[in-house]
Amino acid sequence: MLTRSQKEELVKNLTEQVKAGKVAVFSDYAGTTVAKMKELRNELRKSGSSFKITKKKLIQLAFKNAGIEADVQNMKGQIGVAIGEADEVSAAKILAKFAKENENFKIIEGMLENKMISAAEVMALAKLPSRDELLAKLVGSINAPVSGFVNVLAGNLRNLVGVLKAIGDAKA
């Protein structure tokens, strides 16, 4: 059992993470094995996210201290919260994939831009492309006209070489 000072420190740390985080996802992990949870935590850590498990009251207090009204006390099951600090999508993607692979693990709600969102909205968020994918598409879109122009210029040079070769063959 945690002492009062340990609880205060835990709430303080969780509040700082919530304030720094771009997204938070609440999930019911009841029935999920420790080994699976360890895999989930490692996967989240790689993407710049974390997964916290503590009492509902402490989670609710941390969110309240961060200025977010989350009704954690009335959520059913054993609640864990994943906080994504790197971007808005990666934590939701990892949890959605994990929930699909593990029937005991359920996404309950989420928080995006300091507003609560439903489980369906979290799943929709998980389907969005990541920041890196969007940047790659943007670079491709910017590069497309330049590539097309280079190909047109190269085509003219190929045609010129072809005409000169045909003239050379005709005279030979």
Helix, coil or strand: residue 87? coil
Model-level pTM?
0.75
136 and 86 in one domain? no
76 and 42 in one domain? yes
pLDDT in tens, 49-100: 999 999 999 999 999 999 888 888 888 999 999 999 888 888 999 999 999 9
Please give the C-alpha separations between residue 50 and each of 14, 92, 152, 157, in angstroms, as whole numbers.
10, 12, 50, 56
Q: What angle do CA 64, 16, 82 make, to 5 degrees?
A: 80
Please give the C-alpha separations between residue 66 and each of 6, 58, 63, 106, 161, in angstroms, as whole numbers.
19, 12, 5, 25, 69
142 and 113 in one domain? no
* Cα 6 to Cα 111: distance, rounded to the nearest angstrom: 26
155 and 89 in one domain? no
53 and 114 in one domain? yes
Q: What angle do CA 128, 131, 136 make, to 5 degrees?
A: 105
166 and 89 in one domain? no
Domain tally, the chain: 2
31 and 74 in one domain? yes
pLDDT in tens, 105-129: 999 999 998 889 999 999 999 998 8
Domain that includes residue 57, residue range = 4-128
